Amino acid sequence: MSLLNIVNLSKKFSTINRQVTALSSITLAVEEKEFFVLLGPSGCGKSTLLNLIAGLEQPSGGEISLGATIFSSRAKRIHIAPRDRNIAMVFQNYALYPHMNVAENIEFPLKIRGISKDKRVAMVLEAAQMLELDKVLQAKPGELSGGQRQRVAIARAIVRKPSLFLLDEPLSNLDAKLRASTRNNLKLLQKRLGITTIYVTHDQVEAMTLGDRIALLNNGHIEQIGTPQELYNNPVNHFVATFIGSPPMNLFTLNVTFNNNQYGFIVNGTKIELPDSLVKQIKKTTQTILLGVRPENIEIKPEPSKDSIEVTVTGIERLGRETIIYAVCESVSVSLISSNLVPQIGEKVTIVLDLFKAHVFEKPKSDVN
């Protein structure tokens, strides 16, 4: 059985003139010792979900339970206060107590829980050493660097050995270089301590590198839950497909035609047939589909061939090892990654889509893109 279970959770906010649904029918399970990431664009409800798990807000419906303990349940009229949940949380702005020094900050949760002074000192020291804070124990948060503050926040969270460790965009206030190394350390720390962790972020790179599993949220509901590889390789819809991966997956809206027992489409005079693996995913009734091809699955060919498409290059981003190329063809833009051939802007090149690695999605009813 999973450690944290969330069943059919919903949250509505009421303002003076309207009701806003922040979350609806959220169901997920987090395994023991798992690093679970809640990923999504801003305003998707991921932070609200974290607050609900922490008990800082009450759900409008559904249930949250940790092991055998019900944390919140609308139907059973149960709501356990955050202080009784034995959870720890790291906030985006760290929320360090400005009037206490580092040692007092880390000690605070222990003190409130009435742990004896001797034990407290030992635990604070242990946590501080683990995060390399033992030299700044007497400093106030205002005197620390961003990275140090962030580590104090983590030390304060892990010092009391919580059953659940919640992090709300903890890296977003660090500069890029520090972010990468902190990410690494965080993952190591989590594995070493074996604390079940839920991590909120809007950054798909963070999610992919940190998470054992990821739940991708959008507009208050879960689009897909799975390992980073599953989300990358088998996105269930176009939202997941474009959210994960950088530069994002190319999506082409196509009118497919059926002929000679083959589905195909025509671009710029070239007739391209879809392989059977994709055809199987298309419902017979639909004519308009979204074809998704990742930039790395598009190749520039020096010579035109039967299934190549001619495009005009509009932009180039050199990243060193590889180059991102932006191009258009009949007002449809496309991005691709090339590691050897680098054309000039305005140049016409021929490209080939690797359709065996492509995806087909249903066109959404209201066009979100």
Partner 1 sequence: MRENLLERMLFYTGLCVTFVFILAPVTFMILMSFSKNPDFLGQSFNFTIRHFYEIIYTRSLHFPEYLANSLIVSSISALISTAIAGMGAYAFTRFNFPGKFILLVGILALSMFPQISIVGYLFRIMAGVGLINTRTGLVLPYTAWVLPLSLWILISYFLQIPGELDKAAYIDGCSPLKTMWYVILPVASPGLFSTLLLAFIFSFNEFMFALMLTTDQAARTVPVGISLFQGLHGEIPWGSIMAASTLTTAPVVILTLVFQRYIIQGLTRGALKG
Partner 2 sequence: MTSLKRSQDSRQYSYDWPWVTLLLGPGLFLLCLLILIPVIGTIITSTNRDITFMDGKWVGLSNYAELFKDTAFRQSLRFTISFIAVSVPLELLFGLGLSLLMNYKSSFRGIIRSLVLIPWAIPAVISGRIWELIYNVNYGLANYIIEQFGFEKINWLGTSSGAFWAIIIADLWKTIPFVAIILLAGLSSIPETLYQQAQIDGASFFRRFYSITLPLLRPVIVVALLFRTIDALRIFDLVFILTSGGPGGSTTSLSQLGFKYFVGGDFGYGSTLSVIIFLCALVLSLLVIKFGKFSQEAI
Residues that bind partner 1 (CB under 8 A): 51, 54-56, 81-83, 87-89, 91-93, 95-99, 108-109, 112-113, 156
Is residue 8 within the footprint of partner 2 (CB under 8 A)? no
15 binds, among partner 2, partner 1, none (CB under 5 to 8 A by kind): partner 2
Q: Rounded to the nearest whole angstrom, what is the least distance from the CB of residue 61 to partner 2 in the complex?
A: 10
Q: Which of 4, 6, 9, 11 binds partner 2 (CB under 8 A)?
A: 11
# of chain residues touching partner 2 (CB under 8 A)? 10
Least gap, CB of 86 to partner 1 (angstroms): 9
- Is residue 56 near partner 2 by the rule CB under 8 A? no
Q: Which stretch binds partner 2 (CB under 8 A): 14-22, 103-111, 115-123, 200-208?
A: 14-22
Segment interacting with partner 2 (CB under 8 A) among 10-18, 106-114, 258-266, 290-298: 10-18
Give 193 or 205: the residue with its C-beta nearer to partner 1.
193
97 forms part of the interface with partner 2 (CB under 8 A)? no
Residue 77 CB, nearest distance to partner 1 (Å)? 19
Q: Which does 92 bind (CB under 5 to 8 A by kind): partner 1, partner 2, none?
A: partner 1
Decide which of partner 2, partner 1, none touches 355; Cβ closer than 5 to 8 Å per partner kind: none
Residue 9: strand pairing partners = 26
Q: Given the rule CB under 8 A, which of 13-21, 93-101, 216-224, 260-268 is the region that contacts partner 2?
A: 13-21
Q: What 3 state SS string does the chain have?
A: CCCEEEEEEEEEEECCCCEEEEEEEEEEEECCCCEEEEECCCCCCHHHHHHHHHCCCCCCEEEEEECCEEEEECCCCEECCHHHCCEEEECCCCCCCCCCCHHHHHHHHHHHCCCCHHHHHHHHHHHHHHCCCCCCCCCCHHHCCHHHHHHHHHHHHHCCCCCEEEEECCCCCCCHHHHHHHHHHHHHHHHHHCCCEEEEECCHHHHHHHCCEEEEEECCEEEEEECHHHHHHCCCCHHHHHHCCCCCCEEEEEECEEECCEEEEEECCEEEECCHHHHCCCCCCCCEEEEEECHHHEEEECCCCCCCEEEEEEEEEECCCCEEEEEEECCEEEEEEECCCCCCCCCEEEEEECHHHCEEEECCCCCCC
Which residue, 13 or 258, is less far from partner 2 as judged by CB?
A: 13
Instruction: Rank residues 91 and 326 by Cβ distance to partner 1 and give the closer one.
Output: 91
Binding of partner 2 by 79 (CB under 8 A): yes
Q: Which of 292, 294, 293, 299 minimizes the C-alpha distance to 338?
A: 299
| Of 60, 105, 204, 335, the one binding partner 2 by CB under 8 A | 60
With binding defined as CB under 8 A, does residue 15 bind partner 2?
A: yes
List of residues contacting partner 2 (CB under 8 A): 11-15, 20, 57-58, 60, 79
